[in-house]
Amino acid sequence: MKINLLKLTGISAIVLSSFPAFSAESDRKDFDGFLEFEFPWHKASVWKVITGKVVDEKNLGVPGVGVQNITTGQGTVTDANGQFKIDANENEVIRFTYLGYQTQNVTIAAQTTLNIKLAVSADTKLDDVVVVGYGTRSQRELTSAITKVDTSQFRQSGARNALDLLQGKVAGLQITRSSSNPNSGVAIQLRGVTSISGTSSPLIVIDGIPGGNLDLLQQDDIESFSVLKDGSAAAIYGTRANAGVILVTTKKGRKGPSQFNYNGYVKHETLYERPDFMNASQFREKIASGQYNAKDFGGDFSYFDDIINKDNLTNYQNLSVSGGGDKSNYRGSFTYNRLDGFSRENSREQYQFRMSLTQKGFKDRVTASFNVASNINKANLLGGSGWENVLTKNPTESYYNPDGSYLFTRNITNEVARLEQETNRRSQQTYSADGKIDVDILTGLKASAFVAYQRNQFVDNQYRTLGSQNSVENGDSPGGGYAYKGTELNENFNFEPTIEYSKTINDKHRLTGMLGYSYRYEVNESFSANNRGYTNDIFEENNLGSVPIGINRVGLGSNKNDNTLIALFGRVHYTYDGKVNFEAVLRREGSSRFGANNKWASFPAVSASYEITREKFMENMKWLNFLKIRAGYGETGNSGFANYASLVTLSTGNLYPFPNGEWLQTYGPSRNPNPNLRWERKREYNFGVDFSMLNNKLSGSIDLFKRNIIDLLDTYTSPQPPFVQSSIYTNVGTISAKGLELTLSYQAIKKDNFSWNIDFAGSTIDNKLDTYSNEVYKRDMRTFGGIGGAGDLGDAFRTYEGRNIGEFWGKRFAGFTPEGKWTFFNKNGVAVPNAQINTSPFRDQTDLALIGNAIPKYYLSLGNKFTYKQWDLNIFLRSKLDFDVLNTLALSYGNKFGTQGNLLNSAFTKYAEINDTYMYSDYYLEKGSFLKVDEVTLGYTFKFNDKAFRSLRVYAVGQNLALLTGYSGNDPDLIQDTGLGQEINGRSLGIDTRSPYPTTRQFVFGVNFGF
């Protein structure tokens, strides 16, 4: 059931109502110390002066520590050397608080001096080590916009892809999965659109391997993600970092006795919602009443249910062992995972092994580490589609002939027969091996060498039997079987030596410098063959030559391409007195993909941070525990386009007779050369604030960014001559973006037996195509988003120079004539028939207008984590607000005109006036805003007295439990919200599909066991 979502403005409605500090029932003690008053009737006392010093775990004085007499309310902070002075009486309590360390209470006795040593708090993230690319930093030292997400923050509902763990967890990171198909991918976008035709997804780096394969990751093998969001953080990765960088760190062994960990779960999916098409009774009723002109075949069928896998059960099992000593540590894991789709013949079964080993030697001056990972999987790719066919088939007509054989009609595919008579399977093997050696040459001087190899290979097998619809209806070889086999191999090799120097001077100045070299070689090759006309189904695709090769029946293809990337890079990080940090980065990179005149590029970055609360002038701001400001600028690039795009390539022409009587193959140029082809370049500014307040109960960060991407890559019309071909791939145009990201964490309640923590992430962005032309190549706009379906309706998006990305441009509905014909407003606001609408591409001439935008204005998520004794409960909400969706299901099947198949029930209610052809306009554009109860997890952790058993937790998870929206189509959360409108994973930005994979609820039951 859907409930209309009330209009929300900004982010306040989803955040403030969840914070006890802003509610009527708020505990007054949450604000103790925020305002202080002295009352004349306060009992007089003779206080003594308590002095002392506060040091950290390294016995260094800590400035800015909050020191408060919680009996009287008097407070102060430590000075630059960690020393303090405060008045107190005997039996009064002095509290010491500092972000990142445990709060300490000391009851005053006869002493007048206190020496306090702070202990690092388990609740803080400030001193967490964050992977930043070719190194690590503590959260306190970060100067760029980097978000770390560790295992405690991962989603719990069973990840099909490693990035599923991050959905809704990082402000500014959009992860969209268009269905629960286990073989589908995710669309990823960080801080908006960064390219028209180049790579638009962040670079994935797994344990230092750029371009890491996500198939090699299972949720229980991942330690953390670090998302490098801004240019100053990502510049160290040069021409592959325009869309941001996601660093993945896998789990490693630690010093201690051997530990075994097991995690297993099962997951079942149930139907949440399906499009509201007529059943057989409703279909007959509409025919009988004269509302619909169609044929009644006398049956009652719902083949939607016949292609559903109602007994689906996903099974996940992971076992790991880890341990280590003073010189070495190890970790190994094995995972079995069978993912059952909600569709029949739609599954993925995989086996994965991962092993890591670290060894020290030569008096601990040399450390060697090795990682090996493999994934072997088999995927059934046949199912997962065909939903439009079964939904729109006449529900009174059978899929079978009277004799029980399958009924084939050329106007629609028999999906039940297809699933029985065809096969489409993939067998895939992915491997990765890497090693790193660190050598401590001198004190503070370390050299490293990293080498990695990845290999990914798959074989596709397809067969369609002699009796299948595809074979029976084929015109070249009617009734002959069809077979296909294809294989692809991708390999890459990485070598990266680095040298790093670190020096501390007078305990206040710390300098770290790093230099490195990177070499990467990639090679990809593929081969495919198909044949048709088989006279039996015995060999299937395993004997392609068993039928004679004939004209129009055989297909052959092969390909091989490679590229090389070389880079030199360096970074300098300086820290002053633990409160000021400065960082500078430079990467010089060359790629074989670039044109001859632009083989090399340089990518600089600078950033700085200032921890204001360490200053003496902040000592009276008792309600503010921590405040740091960050600012950075960085340049990155995009080389994510086809190999050889800058070179002339040849392709085959026709066969021609030569004078000697032979027929010979001809070749000719298929691509124009472009020696000036270069990388897209992004220039980005970022300003951020990190804070903690109210006795460290409320913490968070705010980031403001502005970016410009220049030298956009796209295909333009080229003059002939001098060019041979009519198009050329070149650099023209700019895209800009600016936005705001907010992350909050609130410790609402923390008692001995009960706690409640709230986490919020929100972002908003404005994305524009600023220019799309230069002095040579002119283009005012680009269209995207093919609408498809009945009628030649063109593209839904027009992205003009100087306008926002994601704009729907179309006709403005003006009403229906008494006969049910469309009328639309022209540019003068006059209602006219469709035939009088000018659809010119020129802005000053066209009657088409801006009618909506497909990109959500706000992305919001809210996590609530409760613990009570050994119970834990997590409730996770997600929302996207203020965006439009084109309901193509209603456009095609809410219209009674010109079809005799099944229709939506709304064709006779909401859309009953239509008596005209299919038409794209704002009539079918709807608001897609929604709020979703995305994930609820309930767990219980058992306690054991036996030390051999470390932990046991059982848990249950429900996903996609409730949806509040005013949108009448499919789940708006599954509608693509990344890109400019081009197809990604079979979906386009803002366009609801006509063939929706069913929306499901998922239920997970699992156990974690450690011994």
Full DSSP string of 929-988? -EEEEEEEEEEEEE--SSTT--EEEEEEEEEEEEEEE---SS-GGGS--SSSSS-BTTB-
- Rounded to whole angstroms, the Cα distance separating 76 from 983 reads 59
Q: In sequence order, which residues have a C-beta less than 8 Å from that of residue 227 and are 6 or more positions away?
A: 146, 147, 148, 149, 166, 170, 173, 190, 202, 244, 245, 246, 247
The rounded distance, in Å, linking the Cα atoms of 800 and 771 is: 8
The residue type found at 203 is L
Token pair for 457: 């290979």
Q: What is the DSSP letter of 416?
A: H
Return the structure tokens found at 263.
């995690």
Mean pLDDT of the chain: 89
Distance CA 571, CA 586 (A): 7
Q: State the CB neighbour count (10 A cutoff) for residue 61.
A: 16
* Strand 2-3 to 951-965 pairing: parallel
Helix (H, G, I), strand (E, B) or coil at 153: helix
Nearby residues of 310 by Cβ (< 8 Å), 6 or more positions away: none
Distance between CA atoms of residues 858 and 851, nearest Å: 19
CA neighbor of 499 nearest in space, from 484, 483, 514: 514
SS (H, E, C) 506-549: CCCEEEEEEEEEEEEEEEEEEEEEEEEEECCCCCHHHCHHHCCC
Rounded to whole angstroms, the Cα distance separating 999 from 540 reads 34
pLDDT of residue 358: 94
Task: Report the pLDDT value the prediction gives residue 26, as an integer from 0 to 100.
Answer: 38
CB 835 within 8 A of CB 841: no
CA dihedral 658, 663, 667, 668 (to 10 degrees): 50
Residue 436, pLDDT above cutoff 80: yes
Three-state DSSP class for residue 214: helix
Per residue in 542-581, pLDDT tens? 988 888 766 668 889 999 999 999 999 999 999 998 899 9
Question: Strand 93-97 relative to strand 347-361: parallel, antiparallel, unpaired?
Answer: unpaired
> What does the buried/exposed string (b/e) look like for 690-721 if buried means 16 or more CB atoms within 10 Å of the residue's CB?
bbbbbbbbbbbbbbebebbbbbbbbebebeee
- The total number of residues written for the chain in this structure: 1011
pLDDT recorded at residue 551:
64
Please give the pLDDT value at position 881: 97
Q: How confident is the model at residue 364 (pLDDT cuts 50, 70, 90)?
A: confident
With CA atoms as reference, report the closest residue to 248 among 201, 280, 301, 206. 206
pLDDT in tens, 52-89: 999 887 677 887 787 888 777 777 878 877 889 898 88
Residues near 828 by Cβ (< 8 Å), separated by ≥ 6?
A: none
Q: How many Å separate Cα 671 from the centre of its chain?
A: 34
DSSP letters spanning 678-703? --EEEEEEEEEEEEEETTTTEEEEEE
Enter the pTM of the model: 0.86
722 preceded by cis ω (within 30°)? yes
Q: What is the pLDDT of residue 936?
A: 96
The pLDDT tens digits for 756-783 are 999 999 999 999 999 999 888 988 899 9
- As a whole number of Å, the end-to-end CA separation of the chain is 44
What does DSSP say about strands 366-380 and 347-361: parallel, antiparallel, or unpaired? antiparallel
- Please report which confidence band the pLDDT of residue 11 belongs to, taking 50, 70 and 90 as the band edges: very low
Q: For 993-1000, what is the mean pLDDT?
A: 92
Of the two residues 1008 and 37, the one the predictor is more confident about is 1008
Burial class of residue 9 (count of CB atoms within 10 Å of its CB; 0-12, 13-18, 19+) = exposed
Query: Coil, strand, or helix at residue 661?
Result: coil
41 against 674, higher pLDDT: 674
At 92 the pLDDT is: 85
Q: Is the model's pLDDT at 44 over the cut of 50?
A: no
Q: What is the pLDDT of residue 39?
A: 39
Kindly tell me if the per-residue pLDDT of 966 is higher than 90: yes
Nearest Cα neighbor of 759 from 829, 671, 849, 861 is 861
Name the residue with higher pLDDT: 98 or 44.
98
Asked whether residue 939 carries a pLDDT value surpassing 60, the answer given is: yes
3-class DSSP state of 411: coil
Kindly tell me if the per-residue pLDDT of 685 is higher than 90.
yes
pLDDT band with cut points at 50, 70 and 90 for residue 127 = low
Q: What is the pLDDT of residue 992?
A: 94
Type of residue at 274: R
For residue 631 the two structure tokens come to 């600012």
Q: Can you tell me the distance from the alpha carbon of 854 to that of 888, in angstroms, rounded to the nearest whole number?
A: 14
Q: Give 3-state DSSP helix, strand, coil % of the chain, rounded to 5.
A: 10, 50, 40
Amino acid identity, position 718 = S
Is the pLDDT higher at 390 or at 100? 390
Nearest partner of 878 among 861, 895, 863, 897, judged by Cα: 861
**Quick one: average pLDDT of 973-992?**
90
For 387, phi then psi, to 5°, come to -65, -35
| Helix/strand/coil for 771 | strand
CA–CA distances in Å: residue 533 to residues 247, 422, 471, 539: 50, 15, 8, 13
- Peptide bond between residue 721 and the one before it cis (omega within 30 degrees of 0): yes
Using one digit for the tens of pLDDT, what is the confidence trace for 596-640? 999 999 999 999 999 998 888 887 888 898 999 999 999 999 999
